[in-house]
Amino acid sequence: EAGVAQSPRYKIIEKRQSVAFWCNPISGHATLYWYQQILGQGPKLLIQFQNNGVVDDSQLPKDRFSAERLKGVDSTLKIQPAKLEDSAVYLCASSQRLAGSSGANVLTFGAGSRLTVL
Amino acid sequence: KQEVTQIPAALSVPEGENLVLNCSFTDSAIYNLQWFRQDPGKGLTSLLLIQSSQREQTSGRLNASLDKSSGRSTLYIAASQPGDSATYLCAVYGSGGSNYKLTFGKGTLLTVNP
């Protein structure tokens, strides 16, 4: 089974510029997550999709971050305009089961997209 | 709000030593707990998952225990090897209001010296 694919792996931008990250989850996985991992910290959930609907975006800075999951498959995470504190690794993960069901938290993570904002 | 704490933040041991990583969480109403491994520049790899009704799980040289009532878990690594060097993350799966989510600790950076 192919894993979770993310691109780009690395991105360097200047503050106030925009950036977009792409994620292709494992085929058939209903739930997709975007996590932000700042250096030295654990991953923090930004947004969770179930199929193509948003389940939780309570920690997403909506003034600058946006995400979508078209047709319940691929997802993009956009930051515009970027700030210095957005420098982090953005991890995408997917899960076969629906939120709340048994096995729903067996997540498979992608390798991540490392963002550096100068 | 669920908070997960991992101690120590970093640990350096000689090869062959047995070691224990600690994880504590504030809300004991969890469904399960997972230990992940993260290598530099890589994503997360799940090592062990303990259901809330279980006390421990074992995989090879790894043993994870869970004391849900006290909000604690430990990851025991036997006969450590240089290849075990990585960051180890603890995460609990619980109901954060109306949503089910994984909440992570900050991790323990383990270095095993040859």
CA-based nearest residue to A96, from A88, A85, A105: A105
pLDDT confidence tier of residue B50, bands split at 50, 70 and 90: very high
Instruction: Tell me which of B44, B45, B108 to substitute to probe the interface with A (most A C-beta atoms closer than 10 Å).
Output: B44
Alpha helices (H) in B1-114, listed in sequence order:
none
* CB–CB contact B104 A42 (8 Å): yes
Render each residue's pLDDT in chain A as its tens digit; 118 residues: 679 999 999 999 999 999 999 999 999 898 899 999 999 899 999 999 988 889 889 999 999 999 999 888 999 999 999 999 999 999 999 988 766 665 556 788 999 999 999 9
Please give the average per-residue pLDDT across B98-107, as a whole number.
81
Quick check: A43 contacting B, CB < 8 Å?
A: yes
- The residue in chain A having the minimum alpha-carbon distance to the alpha carbon of residue B4 is A42
pLDDT of residue A111: 92
Q: What is the mean pLDDT of chain B?
A: 92
Query: CA A90, A96, A102, A107 torsion: positive or negative?
Result: negative
Q: What is the pLDDT of residues B51-94, one digit of tens each?
A: 888 999 999 999 999 999 999 999 999 999 999 999 999 999 88
Q: Is the pLDDT of residue B98 over 60?
A: no
* Residues of chain B with C-beta less than 8 angstroms from the C-beta of A105: 31-32, 34, 49, 93, 100, 102
Q: Which of B42, B45, B99 sits opposite A56 (nearest CB)?
A: B99
Q: Which of A40, A91, A99 sits opposite B99 (nearest CB)?
A: A99
**B residues 15..74 contacting A (CB < 8 A):** 31-32, 34, 41-46, 49
Q: Are B16 and B67 in contact (CB under 8 A)?
A: no
Peptide bond into A8 cis (omega under 30): yes
A31-49 in b/e form (b: 16+ CB < 10 A) is: bbbbbbbeeeebbebbbbb
Amino acid letter for position B109: L
Q: What is the pLDDT of residues B5-29, one digit of tens each?
A: 999 999 999 999 999 999 999 988 8
pLDDT confidence tier of residue B96, bands split at 50, 70 and 90: low
Size of interface A-B (CB pairs under 8 A): 56
pLDDT confidence tier of residue B43, bands split at 50, 70 and 90: confident
* Residues of chain B with C-beta less than 8 angstroms from the C-beta of A42: 4, 89, 91, 104-107
Q: Could you give the dihedral angle defined by the CA atoms of residues B24, B52, B100 and A23, in that order, rounded to the nearest 10 degrees?
A: 80
* CB–CB contact A105 B31 (8 Å): yes
Q: Are B54 and B66 in contact (CB under 8 A)?
A: yes
pLDDT of residue A16: 96
* CB–CB contact B100 A99 (8 Å): yes
